[in-house]
Amino acid sequence: MPRLSWQKSSFSGGGEGECVELAATATGRIRLRESDRPGDIATSTPRALASLLLVLKNDSWGPSRSR
């Protein structure tokens, strides 16, 4: 596997640990990992990741709540 260039999320807690890191592969896939567990890597397409982030940002992933 080629060496990946990992980037920390701007929303990470700073310092060591508690950081989400992303890297793009040569094939266009996105790899995600938690900085304190670098061996556990999830793989996504850019489109699927964007959809997930949109759902999380809009808080529309869980049961409906009264607002």
pTM of the model: 0.71
Strand partners, 22: 7, 32
Is 64 a domain residue? no
pLDDT at residue 49 greater than cutoff 60: yes
pLDDT of residue 27: 95
Most confident of 26-30, 36-40, 53-57: 26-30
Give the chain's domain count: 1
> How many CB atoms sit inside 10 A of residue 34's CB?
16
pLDDT at residue 16 greater than cutoff 80: no
Is 51 a domain residue? yes
DSSP state of 18: S
Is 63 a domain residue? no
More confident residue, 12 or 2: 2
Domain that holds residue 21: 7-57
Is 65 a domain residue? no
Is 1 a domain residue? no
Strand order in the sheet with 7-8: 7-8, 20-24, 30-34, 37-44
In single-letter form, the type of residue at position 62 comes to G
